[in-house]
Amino acid sequence: MADWRGAAVVLAGSIPYGIALAIATLRAHASMRWPRVEGVLTRSQFFIGDTDARICRRGLQASLRDRHLVAALPIIAYDYRVDNGSYVGTRLRFGPILNLPVEHWIRTHQPGAKVTVAYDPGRPKISVLEPGVSFVLVICLAIAVVFVGAGLWWLLASLRG
């Protein structure tokens, strides 16, 4: 009978994550049709992890000679205007960012650079620099669906005895 608790833990973790990924996927898909405006990048930094699993803060001046870097999380901000409103966006893509070409960003996205911003016409404060559904987002959503299915199967099997 204690077996159902493990299934409940799997479901408690995978259902909210799956819902968040489904919402991100729907928004990402819709963002392909959103209008675009010009914006200005105001912040562009990275948190970079290395092979020793230490997280260190590095700005855009991070050495490109560091070949041991394995993960980078962009911390960005950009200003844009829609009609009479001014907005600040912070989203690069919808969903997880696992395959960001850091070297390209370091060279091309300095603060002050002009960027193209896609924004939700119904809620202009929701914006993104790279609209569309990424492959990583689809894979993460598929994994979440598998975990929800496995959790439900496990729960039903343990309740049946």
For residues 83 and 80, give the distance between their C-alpha atoms in angstroms, rounded to a whole number.
Answer: 10
Structural contact between residues 25 and 137, judged by C-beta atoms closer than 8 angstroms: yes
Per-residue pLDDT of the chain (161 residues; tens, 9 = 90+): 458 888 888 889 899 999 999 999 999 999 999 999 999 999 987 766 554 444 444 443 444 444 444 456 778 899 999 999 999 999 988 877 765 666 666 677 888 999 999 999 999 999 999 999 988 889 989 999 999 999 899 888 888 87
Residue 67 pLDDT: 45
For residues 92 and 11, give the distance between their C-alpha atoms in angstroms, rounded to a whole number.
Answer: 29
For residues 88 and 44, give the distance between their C-alpha atoms in angstroms, rounded to a whole number.
Answer: 13
Half-sphere exposure of 74 (CA within 13 A, CB side): 29
Residue 15 pLDDT: 93
For residues 119 and 97, give the distance between their C-alpha atoms in angstroms, rounded to a whole number.
Answer: 19
**Nearest to residue 89, comparing CAs of 131, 134, 124?**
124
- Tokens 């975990």 identify what position? 147
User: pTM for the complete prediction?
Assistant: 0.72
Residue 7 pLDDT: 84
